[in-house]
A and B are shown apart, each in its own frame.
Chain A
């Protein structure tokens, strides 16, 4: 009975139509559709289809981002109903994401956030110029699986190392893996500072995050 609704949900993501996605989420709530089903049988199908098109070079980055944004809006609209029902969306993992202290570069970091959340991660984006202590605080609070750190300057990438050291010191590093990225960051740098994952772009970041939490 909800097949048609699910199809429309998937389509709203493919179209990148956040308004339509939110309206469909509301319709699901109003008609008693399980929000988890709305996500897994509706919206996620759309995200997957855009992802497949992207992999086959039929869709481009903006389309991926637009779909990701629509997905985020749909999930947010379903959130209150999930809380009411006492259910929680199954996620691959929780990611605390930030651009490190002293660095205000945002777009790459936000892109990684959008890609991760569209791919089934719960992302806590702390924004830019975030001190290590704040990152640790949030990671601890949400019991993060991954701490993802962006830096665009050679002068600020050292802050990535600071966060890792702080995690080590608190004994949290074994349960919270660290991903690093940003234009000056290299695989060698990531290795040197003891990061667990590195990607040069947002698409690769999703792969790395999935490897870290052990899903394919």
Chain B
């Protein structure tokens, strides 16, 4: 097991490789993207964003808020983005270096309902759910960082995102990435909060304990509040990414290449904007493209298109030499079932095999709407399986085991051989796969779902995360209260 830091499991030095595209094919997506940005344009409904583009010589239509940018400007701006940087944690040994050689998993977000851990019934999510999920995630080595998994709907809408981030810091020492801050006002507050946790503005720049993810508005658009929030975060040195969720048939063309291009235009235009405003700011590419359902047009949260997008997008992020935060897991299934297993396994494998830096996200069902602790734990096992697969098969004299094979000979068995004892702990041991004798299963009829819930309950009962200094908590509370008036 490769553990880069305390209680965090990540994929590193993989043996498996997959090339979804040839370099020429990536070049064609890039060229098509630049053509779209230059000739069709991307909508930036933010005064500040439009000013930045205008100051740098882009064609800006203030009426439609559509910006058309020359390829050279986009390319030059993207080259200023740092290829390697750190997602800092409250515990420095839980820092996550985004260096292209690690895959980290985070929770999914942002759900609106929870399957109650004790009653199993479905209900509206609240702040206590955020707390519980963060606490469980803090204990799990598979979870390297937090996304805000569910919405704290018992808190005022205008400060909800802040309450959620505060809860995450108070209940875990791992890095927090929020996807739920989308206006200037909240962004200013959350930066102040992050500064307090990091120990000042300069400390935050060196050790960003928070990162920020904004969604684009496909096709070819952004949301004003998101752009303003992202600009403020980038200015403060908080790693910031734009996520495209373009979907074939609806917000993207039917073809996967077309949907990749639409999403790519959204992401790189906005990323370039951040670099034009704050050169060298840590930025990342984020994506969770999908195909809409052919019958209903609904968001699917799975399917072969999702899985391919998972592998394809990292080729683009690598081309631009910035880290990628990729949507994987996040099944469209209504409950932890066959569909969830298939979708989350394949999406995660495809995103891992190309070494996407950050994976989102475990635990949500029904297209990132309903939180399930059982799904969370089972998703962790999926990651562990992929983690083991990524190590590939090591070919060395010792692993070829000629001596052991010679000693055992035809017809014997290897169970009692010394070589077996030496290497057996490298064989994967699942937590939730049912490998029991049939009769044992028959007498209990239990399985992964039950065991996963049991483990989540056990963690919640026994795991005590290192909570935030009470003075710091008060300070964060004060910042939030100042916005609630």
A: residues with CB less than 8 A from B are 16, 60-63, 65-66, 68-69, 106-107, 110-111, 114, 186-187, 199-201, 204
User: Binding site of A, secondary structure by majority: helix, strand, loop or mixed?
Assistant: helix
B: residues with CB less than 8 A from A are 411, 413, 415-416, 420-421, 424-425, 437-439
Between-chain CB contacts (< 8 Å), 30 pairs: A16-B416, A16-B421, A60-B424, A60-B425, A61-B415, A62-B415, A62-B420, A62-B421, A63-B424, A65-B416, A66-B415, A66-B416, A66-B420, A66-B421, A68-B416, A69-B416, A106-B411, A106-B413, A107-B413, A107-B415, A110-B413, A111-B413, A186-B438, A199-B437, A200-B437, A200-B438, A200-B439, A201-B437, A204-B437, A204-B439
Residues of B within 8 A of A60 (CB): 424-425
CA distance A175 to B416 in the complex (A): 33
CA distance A204 to B421 in the complex (A): 22
Of all chain B residues, which has the CB nearest A63? B421
Given A61-B415, A62-B416, A107-B413, 10 more A-B residue pairs with CB atoms under 8 Å apart are A66-B415, A66-B416, A106-B411, A107-B415, A111-B413, A186-B438, A187-B439, A200-B438, A201-B437, A204-B437
CA distance A187 to B438 in the complex (A): 10
Q: Does B415 contact A65, Cβ atoms closer than 8 Å?
A: yes
Least CB distance, A185 to chain B, in whole angstroms: 11
Q: Please judge, given known A-B contacts A107-B413, A111-B415, whether A62 and B424 are in contact too, CB under 8 Å.
A: yes
Of all chain B residues, which has the CB nearest A107? B413
CA distance A174 to B416 in the complex (A): 36
Closest 8 CB pairs of A and B: A200-B437, A65-B415, A62-B420, A69-B416, A107-B413, A65-B416, A66-B416, A62-B415
Of all chain A residues, which has the CB nearest B413? A107
Least CB distance, B340 to chain A, in whole angstroms: 27
User: Binding site of B, secondary structure by majority: helix, strand, loop or mixed?
Assistant: helix
Residues of B within 8 A of A61 (CB): 415
Least CB distance, B388 to chain A, in whole angstroms: 16
Least CB distance, A64 to chain B, in whole angstroms: 9
Least CB distance, A44 to chain B, in whole angstroms: 19
Residues of A within 8 A of B411 (CB): 106
CA distance A69 to B439 in the complex (A): 28
CA distance A106 to B415 in the complex (A): 13
Of all chain B residues, which has the CB nearest A203? B437
Least CB distance, A162 to chain B, in whole angstroms: 25
CA distance A131 to B416 in the complex (A): 28
Least CB distance, A2 to chain B, in whole angstroms: 28
Residues of A within 8 A of B415 (CB): 61-62, 65-66, 107, 111
Least CB distance, B463 to chain A, in whole angstroms: 20
Least CB distance, A207 to chain B, in whole angstroms: 11
CA distance A111 to B415 in the complex (A): 9
Residues of B within 8 A of A65 (CB): 415-416
Residues of A within 8 A of B437 (CB): 199-201, 204
Of all chain B residues, which has the CB nearest A104? B411
Of all chain A residues, which has the CB nearest B411? A106
CA distance A111 to B437 in the complex (A): 16
CA distance A204 to B441 in the complex (A): 14
CA distance A65 to B408 in the complex (A): 14
Residues of A within 8 A of B424 (CB): 60, 62-63
Residues of A within 8 A of B439 (CB): 187, 200, 204
Of all chain A residues, which has the CB nearest B423? A62
CA distance A66 to B425 in the complex (A): 15
From B413, B424, B425, residue with most partner A Cβ within 10 Å: B413
Of all chain A residues, which has the CB nearest B442? A187
Residues of B within 8 A of A111 (CB): 413, 415
CA distance A63 to B423 in the complex (A): 12
CA distance A200 to B440 in the complex (A): 10
CA distance A204 to B443 in the complex (A): 14
CA distance A69 to B416 in the complex (A): 7
Least CB distance, B176 to chain A, in whole angstroms: 34
Least CB distance, B409 to chain A, in whole angstroms: 13
CA distance A137 to B421 in the complex (A): 38
CA distance A200 to B415 in the complex (A): 18
From B416, B438, B439, residue with most partner A Cβ within 10 Å: B416
Least CB distance, A170 to chain B, in whole angstroms: 30
CA distance A106 to B439 in the complex (A): 23
Least CB distance, B291 to chain A, in whole angstroms: 42
Least CB distance, B49 to chain A, in whole angstroms: 56
Residues of B within 8 A of A199 (CB): 437
Least CB distance, A190 to chain B, in whole angstroms: 11
CA distance A69 to B438 in the complex (A): 28
